[in-house]
């Protein structure tokens, strides 16, 4: 089979802090009135596997497609599942919990969980929107544990005002939270392991608070780096880590980008629209809010019908 750019059915996740912005901004077909906080654009986790919705592979999941086509998609003969990225769009209508994801050493030491490093690209931000990124300089494990018990751990977090177009890197072990009024592209390693420290005394419609994982979180947090050490970028190579790389591109209407074979790429379209053309396959069109997987063996041209901003992710 000739490979081609793959599109996927979003997996919507209802969250206590979500809303309907993914419908109003990107036209995603959300359940009416549901608080949708996450749209999983590309996932290969045990309980959530993205389904392809275009071309000859339509109807099968990403893992099955890679089983069938192998290196033509991944570009690697030594590929081992799962797919190395988890791609989401987040609608933070309300504040998210204070949380942390473990690193590989912590997972091995604790004998559980999967490591997660992530980054947040700010698609849109309300005036004075903030994130909490790391701890203030000098905060110790003992101090933070006491602040959790006292209910004032927010005072020890590095609170950062954010703007549209910024990309924030959060390596595994970084204590963090997302404030309200933010639309975010979240790029991460394939894990859903999250240890919540504090959830702002929030309860659901039944009056029940979400589960916290304080002991696991304290074992997972890195108490050396502060928020000041976690860089932010707005152009070019946004992330250059050992687990994934993210590049930001801008194209004008009528422009073209040649897609050469060699390396698998995931492209998230933040604005704009266009089509990808190739001699041996049907055109694959895209619009803002779409995420496409470009197989390693694919060769074609990305053509832009309007001014477009996009993120290209490689591993």
pLDDT (tens digit, 9 = 90+) per residue, 266-307? 999 999 999 999 998 999 999 999 999 999 999 999 999 999
- Active-site residue, selected from the candidate residues 15, 76, 196, 202: 196
Lookup result for tokens 């290209």: 312
Q: 3-class SS at 123?
A: strand
φ, ψ dihedrals at 101, nearest 5°: -115, 140
* Cβ–Cβ < 8 Å for 312, 265: yes
196 given a catalytic annotation: yes
CATH of domain 6-237: 2.60.120.10
* Coarse DSSP helix, strand, coil percentages of the chain, rounded to the nearest 5 percent: 15, 40, 45
> Which pair of tokens denotes residue 100?
């942390």
Same fold for the pair 6-237 and 245-314? yes
> Which pair of tokens denotes residue 23?
């419908």
So where are the chain's domains? 6-237, 245-314
Measured CA to CA, the distance from residue 42 to residue 23 in angstroms comes to 18
φ, ψ dihedrals at 74, nearest 5°: -85, -25
- Neighbouring CB atoms inside 10 A of 263's CB total 13
Q: 3-class SS at 293?
A: strand
Query: How do the pLDDT tens digits run along the chain, 315 residues long?
Result: 899 999 999 999 999 999 999 999 999 999 999 999 999 999 999 999 999 999 999 999 999 999 999 999 999 999 999 999 999 999 999 999 999 999 999 999 999 999 999 999 999 999 999 999 999 999 999 999 999 999 999 999 999 999 999 999 999 999 999 999 999 999 999 999 999 999 998 887 788 888 999 999 999 999 987 777 788 999 999 999 999 999 999 999 999 999 999 999 999 999 999 999 999 899 999 999 999 999 999 999 999 999 999 999 999
φ, ψ dihedrals at 232, nearest 5°: -130, 140
- Range 245-314: architecture per CATH: Sandwich (2.60)
């Amino acid at each position: 089979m000739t490979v081609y750019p793959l599109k996927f059915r979003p997996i919507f996740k209802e969250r206590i802090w979500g809303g309907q912005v993914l419908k109003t901004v990107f036209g995603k077909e959300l359940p009416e009135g549901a608080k949708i906080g996450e749209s999983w654009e590309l996932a290969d986790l045990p309980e959530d596997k993205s389904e392809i919705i275009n071309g000859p592979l339509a109807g099968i999941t990403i893992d099955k497609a890679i089983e069938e086509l192998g290196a033509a998609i991944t570009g690697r003969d030594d590929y081992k599942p799962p797919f190395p990225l988890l791609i989401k769009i987040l609608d933070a209508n309300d504040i998210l919990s204070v949380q942390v994801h473990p690193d590989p050493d912590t997972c091995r030491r604790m004998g559980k969980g999967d490591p997660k490093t992530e980054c947040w690209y700010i698609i849109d931000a309300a005036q004075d929107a903030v994130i909490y990124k790391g701890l203030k300089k000098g905060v110790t494990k003992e101090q933070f544990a006491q602040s959790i018990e006292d209910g004032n751990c927010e005072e020890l977090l590095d609170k950062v005002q954010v703007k549209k177009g910024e990309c924030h890197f959060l390596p595994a072990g970084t204590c963090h939270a997302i404030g309200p009024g933010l639309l975010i592209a979240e790029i991460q390693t394939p894990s859903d392991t999250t240890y919540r420290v504090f959830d702002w005394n929030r309860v659901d419609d039944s009056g029940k608070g979400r589960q916290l994982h304080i002991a696991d979180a304290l074992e997972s947090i890195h108490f050396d780096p502060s928020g000041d050490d976690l860089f932010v970028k707005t152009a070019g190579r946004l992330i250059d880590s050992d687990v994934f790389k993210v590049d930001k591109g801008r194209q004008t209407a009528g422009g073209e980008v040649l897609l050469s074979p060699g390396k698998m790429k995931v492209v998230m379209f933040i604005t704009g629209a266009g089509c990808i053309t190739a001699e041996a396959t049907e055109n694959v069109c895209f619009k803002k809010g779409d995420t496409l997987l470009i197989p390693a063996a694919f060769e074609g041209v990305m053509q832009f019908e309007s001014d477009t901003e996009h993120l290209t992710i490689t591993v």
